[in-house]
Structure 1
């Protein structure tokens, strides 16, 4: 029985799954929007939301924990200095998953776009209108 077992295995070994999530997290934080399968996007959401939560704490220990996942000092600096300040007032939901109408051509897998939600820009626009 599979009681209390969370997460998708994605038909990969543990090491392969870990590497996949690291690479996808790096790509998402670099480009702020990537196209992938629905199952991978839902798993990636957990990883990226955790990294943004770490970045909101903004201390040395958080930076070291983020580096453990990202393995890139420039990306950690970007996460803490540019991406996290956008979500200062947000209590979660740092990513958005948009399902695409057309499935993947080869195996008909459901595809989607995962992107960083733009919380900070929406707050600034409301302030400018008022």
Structure 2
């Protein structure tokens, strides 16, 4: 992995399990981009694959499901607090995505919600 002198620009990504378009539109070249994600299938795995293909650093936050059904919510809170993203991009998804969008709004973290093309 290479080290850059540019300041990091952290982007937290969340979304549904079946999203698959428009990912390259989110690429920024002004800062050292870091992709933050929940290490889940769908949008998270697409974010991870895209980051790997572009040699961009990742910060994965897998949920510890052994702790029960609240693991996703706990992971979302941890992911937001620890990564301190400058932007959250939310692709269409389920309850976990809705929770992250709610957290972004509560904390006034800049948020880009990608609308579902089928809505």
TM-score, reference length from structure 1: 0.27
Structure number having the greater helix percentage: 1
Structure number having the greater strand percentage: 2
Is the radius of gyration larger for structure 1 or structure 2?
1
